[in-house]
């Protein structure tokens, strides 16, 4: 179960964190993985990790905010793999602030990556999946798309758009056998979290890490591998009856 043998997957932002975990998990399940990443060094590290475990992966440098860069990236997938079955729109950035102190530049930056980037990659993927006879798109949303989070105005705006786009793609292409779902994590322990704590709470990293962990009723943050396991299921044939859905993976946040 949950094998991806013979399938080609593109994972954006796979140079670290959740994206890297998804890329390595998909490769371990038999997929040929394209690491679509602006950070060449991070992308190369992910590819090296996959190949060290016997998987198949290639790195494609890509800025998801640029239509030309996205077009070039997916054209390379055409040349090398001749098909695309799976797309994980993982690339994203965060922002802290309210509507009062979020600048126009902040809004534009968040929109460009989290919303426009997802739209451009999905637009590139859909015709290729039609040609392949179907496929699956998985978007990384957040619990911020489902509930209000303090000081996350622009970020929540973008992740709400991810949820809306997920459902739109699902209904538009269901007859083409293209499924589209999203996952909605709470806090996940990634290098971004460590960097955020170091930059904003020097000397108090351990204390603040514990506070962030306790936000989840289970008492800890999630792991990238846990998100990757859910992603694998939703992109596998075992989930062929699921489309247009948002899956929280939140340690109990939405329950309590």
Q: Tokens in use for 31?
A: 């997929």
Q: Return the SS3 of 210.
A: helix
Calpha distance 27→59 (Å, rounded)? 13
Q: Which helix (H) or strand (E) holds 6?
A: none
The answer to whether 94 and 107 have CB atoms below 8 angstroms apart is no
Q: Return the SS3 of 83.
A: coil
Sign of CA dihedral 98, 244, 124, 78: positive
Q: CB neighbours of 19 closer than 8 A, spacing ≥ 6?
A: 11, 12, 13, 37, 46, 88, 90, 91
Looking up tokens 């993985």 gives 33
Calpha distance 46→208 (Å, rounded)? 29
CA distances from 241 to 102, 139, 179 (A): 40, 17, 9
Instruction: List the catalytic residue out of 111, 155, 201, 233.
Output: 155
- Compute how many other C-beta atoms are within 10 angstroms of the C-beta atom of residue 242: 15
Let me know if 155 is a catalytic residue: yes
- Compute how many other C-beta atoms are within 10 angstroms of the C-beta atom of residue 82: 11
Q: Return the SS3 of 1.
A: coil
Catalytic residue annotation: 155
């Amino acid at each position: 179960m949950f094998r991806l043998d013979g399938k080609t997957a593109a994972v954006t932002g796979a140079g670290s964190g959740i994206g890297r975990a998804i890329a390595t998990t998909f490769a371990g399940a038999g997929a040929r993985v394209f690491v679509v990443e602006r950070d060449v060094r991070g992308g190369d590290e992910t590819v090296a990790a996959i190949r060290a475990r016997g998987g198949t992966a290639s790195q494609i440098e890509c800025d998801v905010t640029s239509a030309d860069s996205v077009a070039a990236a997916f054209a390379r997938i055409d040349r090398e793999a001749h098909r695309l079955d799976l797309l994980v729109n993982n690339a994203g950035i965060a922002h802290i602030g309210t509507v009062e102190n979020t600048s126009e530049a902040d809004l534009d930056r968040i929109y460009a990556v989290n919303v426009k980037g997802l739209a451009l990659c999905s637009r590139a993927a859909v015709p290729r999946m039609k040609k392949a006879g179907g496929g699956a798109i998985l978007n990384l949303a957040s619990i911020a798309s489902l509930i209000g989070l303090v000081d996350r105005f622009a970020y929540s705006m973008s992740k709400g758009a991810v949820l809306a786009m997920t459902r739109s793609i699902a209904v538009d292409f269901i007859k083409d056998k293209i499924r589209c779902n999203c996952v909605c994590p709470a806090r996940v322990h990634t290098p971004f979290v460590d960097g955020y704590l170091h930059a904003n709470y020097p000397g108090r990293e351990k204390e603040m890490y514990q506070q962030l962990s306790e936000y989840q009723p289970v008492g800890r943050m999630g792991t990238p591998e846990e998100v990757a396991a859910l992603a694998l299921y939703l992109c596998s044939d075992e989930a062929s009856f699921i489309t247009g859905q948002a899956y929280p993976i939140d340690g109990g946040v939405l329950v309590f």
